[in-house]
Structure 1
């Protein structure tokens, strides 16, 4: 089975939408760093001009001071400033050579400062802007991307921009000054020998062009394989507990070896091309140097010239040609690396700006008002939603929750319960219908004000790397120690926290790996309690705790939900039987609604689910099993 372009580059769609990304990079981010750019550019020019001075001065000293076969004549220096004695001329040449070295060192420092400052500042700004944009994208964007692939954009692609802006542009200006400067000096000194020295140039340019053509698709394969390696490693390290409990270490080692071997093969293919190209250029440059040395040497020992070469070539000029030819040929070959660096940076910038331009399904009205919650009255009016076009997850859902009441959502797995509540948080926007809080349409209020008013406890508890206290206070960063402890007590978490090695200052590890599932869940509940929201959303809030702990948490949740609007999802129906309203979802639609007693009297899906959990019946009737099987079949067909 072949790999599609989309599989090869998960950001291909975003990359193709990016218009002239390198121009955009310089205009949007370069302007803020123009001082560093100007310093780097001017210093590059001055430093390279100073680098070209010593061979010129050496050639002049050989001919004018040591051999005395020409006048001591310095370019751009008034004749009255030039010493008349040989000793004075030698000291002047020595002083200028020293100035060139020391001055060159100073300008090389300022050159490196300029380009590094320019590149590092842009790298920082691009990375932070890309992350800021990425974290504000819809949840459906993340559902279609692996973490390793997104990390590749934030890390590999942004770093590739920095390498081009620093090393690439630094080298480009350095080599340009050297090539142009040396070419001018050689032609002014002796145009005939300059033509000989430049014989390899067309061949070098052709080989460089072919190298870029061949290496580009190979680097594309390397980029693709890097993303796959990152994704595989990220998945495996995140699921290390599953790997260990499933005894699949060997299986996963084989899978990592497979993607690593793919990366090795792709990278080695590019390496083989590269290691053939540069030695080949050295051979061409070496041949050019030998030809220049031979022709120049014969010319020096043959006064008046020989063959097509006429005139005289002094020993000083011959030395100048030998020194400059060495400096001229190899920089021409290095332009291939700069072009290659530019192409890679352009591909990366296209991915970055394509991602920055990714449209959001959730748009906020610039004139949106802050959400004001007085009673916590929530209305769902004919709400329909699907993650993808043509797919409906929730259809025609309508209900009203009075302020301070609790509404429970129950139903089979995949019925759309969590999706209904994510719409309340505007993780997604409804396709049809409206959701209102105290008469305010969610689309007419600011997203930050909406989410500040809602506390959310998910069944998928996530803790950040840090201390227990920091995780409880996450989102309520100004909370004091006393408030954090009170929230933990309300969540029945204080006792186990106190028994941790460092109490509230205990590090929880990545994703809270040092704590049990029930402990992580109670910290998540404490986080919501500390936030003291107007509306509370509990999505399987006690799914990872034992029966005894669930009883304790339920007691604290009862106190927490007493005076606020609450939405609760629970597979354990005993935890929601006291809710003022229970809505039963099936296939994204409301199948039943009422109180616990009313639904039992209906003797439909809820009553049978209750009977199974209460041990009153052994299993669901065949009718409900067949409905679940049809639902599963539809899900698999959609996948």
Structure 2
């Protein structure tokens, strides 16, 4: 759909949804992964992985994101409470398991000291018959001389450990479910807000934004936000609490070993950051190359017929091979460098493990620490490095999530069209009297387009609008539909200023058939009945017969139940246009706008369409924009526009007799037609 002259409108186009406007020129904040000038568009833009950009205002956007999730605050607090319980249980597990080890060791020590049965532990340890090395080792063991394994006590301890870990799993699973619920609810509301916002945005916003950029904000950025928050919210909370809990237990068991374990943490963080910093540019290159490769594939696939016609298969293959090789190299480097983080962390963790094991063994041998405590400490040291690394790695994901949220908020904050009046007037029975009174309009403040235009159209008249590209033809009907608001003057419908009418009321009285035929995924009958959802099949068939759609629908295996995809590839371009005309016919509008409605059909079909349009226009005010002057000879009034002004108006015969702009257009068009025939 082209809603403005090609030389006066920003590019971008509109989607199938209804676009509305207030006509005010605004600068919409744009940022993020929009396509670079000259770059190919294709699925690569959506398959390039997560956003790697960082938020412009991380702090402010983070606060706003938290505010967006504020309705879920009770769930968030409950999830944090469950996280604290689950982490606490996990942290207690190794310590209690260490007690089981101590009980086993005490049983072994009791068996080995049967010769001292009847004596107390203190008497055994002070006995000169006990070797000094054994005395030091048993000094940290709480045993009873002569008493062996207490399997009941060991079983109860192991059962308690199993119960603790089971309860922790249940609690953390519940926490994960709650976190999933609150994240999805928040993103669900954001999707609703974005959809509602799109309906309130002016057409100028869609004209100033690439279509892929808008789609990316409401799809890719929403998905990235959802997935990243899902991964990071519970993981960061759990990791931070685990760090605090594990560190507390480590210092509780042995402050010397705890300090030794902390020595390697800065090294782990610095190493992970260094490797991540080197890997990130490679990932950016990988994703960029992926986008270009996918764009090339899409381009060659959609244009495969022309590629074969011009014999360019080998060049296409060569370009694919070159880009594929570039992607291979970039992917290999990115994956290899990032893959080095885990081995490096494992190496540092193993060094840490060796230090703790050696020092812990010495402490056990000296009797200053029990074997169970050393075992628990080793487990804590193992589980301490992992959450630290996770918190460091989550920072990039959080940056990505906040950046996506920022882009969505930029859409939600975009200036909206002016609201309709509360007590807006309406026209009960539309006759079709349209008046343009001293109308002026410009897309850009510094570039006037329509100036002081006045026009009177009587009810039932057919008004044809012709002129060179960029003259303002489509702009004129866009102003009538209030896709844009005029700068000066007014437009009236049956004496009522359309600026005071609600947009819905105005547009419900108007039918449009555009040059670009838009059909949605659904049956042919559903597409025809788009403007009248409750229309009976009899009315649908009648409209199809009047517009010559029925003749080709009957040839399809499923008839009116034939399902069209979003590109309607199962029917030709001319047939798509016929379906859109049938859609307008069924709606029975009071005012009809035809914007190059027959440009996609052949000459024979065009004659049929003209006959259908003649019956459709009966009793209705019609505006017809046409480049083929042969199609508007019978118009009641022909307007010739140049540079936003009406330079001539009259009937076909009178304008030809005047030998003015229309005559020159007519002669030039038919002279070129004769030249083509010759």
Q: Is 1:90 aligned to residue 178 of structure 2? A: no
Contact map agreement 2:83 2:172 (CA 8 A) in 1: yes
1:58 offset after TM fit, Å?
1.3
Q: Which residue of 2 aligns with 1:67?
A: 106
Which has the larger displacement, 338-347 or 228-237? 228-237
1:618 offset after TM fit, Å?
5.6
Give SS of 1:443's match: coil
**Aligned pair partner of 1:390 in 432, 446, 461:** 446
1:99 offset after TM fit, Å?
1.2
Contact map agreement 1:15 1:354 (CA 8 A) in 2: no
Counterparts of 1:575 and 1:242, CA distance in 2: 32
1:199–1:54 CA distance, 2 compared to 1 (3 A):
same
1:142 offset after TM fit, Å?
3.3
1:444 offset after TM fit, Å?
2.2
Contact map agreement 2:56 2:403 (CA 8 A) in 1: no
1:253-332 correspondence runs (5 A):
270-303=334-367, 312-332=368-388
Q: Which residue of 2 aligns with 1:530?
A: 586
Counterparts of 1:227 and 1:137, CA distance in 2: 29
Counterparts of 2:401 and 2:419, CA distance in 1: 33
Give SS of 1:374's match: coil
Q: Which residue of 1 aligns with 2:86?
A: 47
| Structure 2 length-normalised TM | 0.79
Q: Which residue of 2 aligns with 1:377?
A: 433
Q: Is 1:441 aligned to residue 497 of structure 2? A: yes
Give SS of 2:465's match: strand
Give SS of 2:607's match: helix
1:165 offset after TM fit, Å?
1.6
1:126 offset after TM fit, Å?
2.4
1:207 offset after TM fit, Å?
3.7
**Aligned pair partner of 1:142 in 191, 195, 206:** 206
1:359–1:7 CA distance, 2 compared to 1 (3 A):
closer
| Structure 1 length-normalised TM | 0.83
Q: Is 1:37 aligned to residue 61 of structure 2? A: no
Q: Is 1:481 aligned to residue 521 of structure 2? A: no
Larger gyration radius, structure 1 or structure 2: 2
**Aligned pair partner of 2:418 in 355, 358, 363:** 363
Contact map agreement 1:50 1:104 (CA 8 A) in 2: yes
Q: Which residue of 1 aligns with 2:66?
A: 26
Which has the larger displacement, 545-554 or 274-283? 274-283
1:354 offset after TM fit, Å?
0.9
Q: Is 1:103 aligned to residue 167 of structure 2? A: yes
Deviations 1:59-111 (A, max 9, x none): 11222454265569xxxxxxxxxxxx944432331221121122122113212
Q: Which residue of 1 aligns with 2:113?
A: none
Counterparts of 1:465 and 1:578, CA distance in 2: 36
Deviations 1:119-178 (A, max 9, x none): 223333323432442454333433444443333323332122112221111111111121
Q: Which residue of 2 aligns with 1:10?
A: 34
Contact map agreement 1:48 1:177 (CA 8 A) in 2: yes
Counterparts of 1:232 and 1:363, CA distance in 2: 42
Contact map agreement 1:611 1:617 (CA 8 A) in 2: no
Counterparts of 2:411 and 2:329, CA distance in 1: 29
1:214–1:419 CA distance, 2 compared to 1 (3 A):
farther
**Aligned pair partner of 1:335 in 386, 391, 414:** 391
Contact map agreement 1:384 1:396 (CA 8 A) in 2: yes
1:299 offset after TM fit, Å?
1.9
Across the aligned residues of Structure 1 and Structure 2, the Cα RMSD in angstroms comes to 3.5
Q: Which residue of 2 aligns with 1:187?
A: 251
**Aligned pair partner of 1:590 in 642, 646, 659:** 646
Counterparts of 1:371 and 1:264, CA distance in 2: 64
Which has the larger displacement, 294-303 or 434-443? 434-443
Give SS of 2:66's match: helix
Counterparts of 1:224 and 1:355, CA distance in 2: 24
Contact map agreement 1:10 1:145 (CA 8 A) in 2: no
Q: Which residue of 1 aligns with 2:18?
A: none
1:234 offset after TM fit, Å?
6.9
1:288 offset after TM fit, Å?
1.5
**Aligned pair partner of 2:512 in 449, 456, 476:** 456
**Aligned pair partner of 2:401 in 332, 345, 360:** 345
1:398–1:11 CA distance, 2 compared to 1 (3 A):
farther
Give SS of 1:460's match: coil
Counterparts of 1:393 and 1:476, CA distance in 2: 36
1:324 offset after TM fit, Å?
0.9
Q: Which residue of 1 aligns with 2:124?
A: none
1:589–1:342 CA distance, 2 compared to 1 (3 A):
same
1:196-215 correspondence runs (5 A):
196-208=260-272, 210=274
Which has the larger displacement, 163-172 or 212-221? 212-221
Contact map agreement 2:228 2:397 (CA 8 A) in 1: yes
1:249 offset after TM fit, Å?
6.3
1:557 offset after TM fit, Å?
0.9
Give SS of 2:354's match: helix
1:522 offset after TM fit, Å?
0.6
Counterparts of 1:313 and 1:47, CA distance in 2: 28
Q: Which has the higher contact order (CA 8 A, sep 6+)?
A: 2
Counterparts of 2:659 and 2:318, CA distance in 1: 52
1:246 offset after TM fit, Å?
6.9
1:153–1:181 CA distance, 2 compared to 1 (3 A):
same
Q: Which residue of 2 aligns with 1:57?
A: 96
1:260 offset after TM fit, Å?
7.3
Counterparts of 1:367 and 1:397, CA distance in 2: 29
Counterparts of 2:418 and 2:371, CA distance in 1: 75
1:520–1:347 CA distance, 2 compared to 1 (3 A):
same
Contact map agreement 1:18 1:351 (CA 8 A) in 2: no
